[in-house]
Amino acid sequence: MNITVIGGGYVGLTTGICLSYVGHDVNIVEKDLAKLSALELGNLLIYEPGLDNLLQKSRSRITFSNKVNRNLLNGSELIVIAVGTPPKDDGDADLTFLHAAFEEVISCLDEDVQAVVAIKSTVPVGTNDMLAEKFGSMLLSHRVQFVSNPEFLREGHAVYDTLYPDRIVVGARDRDAVGLLREAYSPILQRSFVKPDFITDGIEKDLPYFIVTTPKSAELVKYASNAFLALKISYINEIALLCEKVGANVEDVALGMGTDSRIGRSFLNAGIGWGGSCFPKDTSALIRTSEKHGSELSIVRAAVKVNDNIKDYFVKNVESTLGDLQGKSVAVLGLSFKPDTDDVRDSPAMELVDRLVKKGAIVKATDPIALENARKVVPESDKVIYEEDVYKALEGVDCVLITTEWPQWSKLDFDRVGRIVRQKLIFDGRNCLDKEVLEGLGFIYKGVGR
Ligand code: UGA
């Protein structure tokens, strides 16, 4: 099948590359010229394990262009829109890029063309209907269907999530459009593609569900899923605080709860909270949608509040142990919003750096791959020092904060760490270190609810 993907960000690139890997011919449209030339040379400019490998394997079936290629577009049965929908100041999703993408696509489509336009960008409920109404009248001589096809990929696991999804959701008004989406995804639905070598885990899972809904329901599936995952984390974080008060261990509680198949073990890891480019933006946008429609959605508001409070609690915990933070030196290990990504957008770690600096601390921060992005958000100064080498970040500090659970941290030589820090004090904001081993080495260890 010939497919055009508009947008060469995380979602567009992963979708385009994976669809070409499973056998389709894909044209990816990316406006940014610097990004485009890098892509043409095989450089993705994003850190996404395995994606460059798939790009090399399917290079002959992928083309890149910096604007919609008329010929390729008119030869495409499927046009996927995967442009960004960043948050506006009021929390609502900004649809400027989406409208621009639609205008460009519609103006390039020849008459009598038959195609399906799938919106993969995360958009508020009703957007598909609104676009169908706005642009549909311009397309009376075309047979173009608009469907909603949300994505559920996680950064750092985007290839796996695209090739081995739990479900593919299609919100459509027309049976032919559903048929076309089913055909496009058929290698993934039937798992008939060659397994990439780098994927080793999780391949035995059941084949994905193919769920057909209305466009509105599909749009809401996306927000409701992300908000639910966010509130699941906030829930365990609040239970973690209760664990500290009553002397229970949140890891045991999470295991005891999560082994109930109705609850599930995933997203019950307590810590300094959720961040990234999706949960904060999507919870805000969902709250805005609920406000516009007079629906309260108090549970999502509570999840957001808990997510903020947990950082306050963590900083207060550091303060109550170390005393006034003015002039104290603090090592921050991990700056990305989670491991396996260099993305620092709305990262809880970056938020903590900010809060610590406001309290007068001197932060020595490190991360395996996110330093460059961190520098762009919080420039290096006499208050924030970035170190490539984790042991340099640890030298002479009054305490160590684990803010992202990179596997590197549990492999540190803690004998050496104990010799170079000023105080053997560790706050594990991701509950990823071995408390007993550290206490055995003479560290004071403080996790979250542990
Ligand atoms: C999330 C969803 O998981 C994807 O399904 C969705 O497609 C994506 O947003 C999106 O909307 O594009 P992502 O933001 O990449 O994916 O990251 P997650 O792995 O979901 O983690 C989000 C945050 O929750 C991170 O800060 C992570 O550290 C935190 N988290 C996660 C916890 O604090 N505890 C957990 O148990 C799990």
SS (H, E, C) 326-368: CCCEEEEECCCCCCCCCCCCCCHHHHHHHHHHHCCCEEEEECC
Amino acid 16: pLDDT: 98
Give percent above pLDDT 90 in the chain. Answer: 90
**Is the distance from CB of 83 to CB of 119 less than 8 angstroms?**
no
Same domain, 313 and 236: yes
Whether 223 shows a pLDDT value over 90: the answer reads yes
Distances, alpha carbon 218 to alpha carbons 147, 152, 213, 279, in Å: 9, 12, 6, 17
Same domain, 189 and 248: no
Give the tens place of pLDDT for each residue, 38-48.
999 989 988 99
Give the tens place of pLDDT for each residue, 45-88.
889 999 999 999 999 999 999 999 889 899 999 999 999 999 88
In angstroms, the CA 312 to CA 316 distance is: 6
Same domain, 250 and 203: no
Total Cβ atoms within 10 A of residue 106: 18
DSSP element (H, E) containing 205: none
**Is the distance from CB of 352 to CB of 307 less than 8 angstroms?**
no
> Domain range for residue 180?
2-213
Mean pLDDT of the 88-107 span: 90
Same domain, 252 and 106: no
Domain boundary among 193, 213, 233: 213
Testing ligand 1's pocket by substitution, the residue of 122, 151, 229, 403 carrying the most ligand atoms inside 8 A of its CB is 229
Same domain, 121 and 231: no
Domain boundary among 182, 213, 244: 213
Q: How many domains does the chain have?
A: 2
Testing ligand 1's pocket by substitution, the residue of 123, 338, 340, 341 carrying the most ligand atoms inside 8 A of its CB is 338
Same domain, 243 and 197: no
* pTM exceeding 0.85: yes
Domain of 393, CATH number, reads: 3.40.50.720
The CA angle 280-285-291, to the nearest 5 degrees, is 130
The CA angle 78-83-85, to the nearest 5 degrees, is 135
18 as an active site residue: the answer is no
What counts of helices (H) and strands (E) characterise the chain?
Answer: 19, 14
Whether 142 shows a pLDDT value over 80: the answer reads no
Give the tens place of pLDDT for each residue, 149-191.
999 999 999 999 999 999 999 999 999 999 999 999 999 999 9
Please report how the helices 298-322 and 215-246 are oriented relative to each other, as an axis angle in degrees rounded to 10.
Answer: 30
Domain boundary among 184, 213, 242: 213
Same domain, 180 and 328: no
Amino acid 143: pLDDT: 82
Enumerate residues lining ligand 1, CB below 6 A.
122, 151-155, 226, 229, 233, 267-269, 271, 273-276, 278-279, 282, 337-338
Amino acid 91: pLDDT: 81
Give the tens place of pLDDT for each residue, 308-317.
999 999 999 9
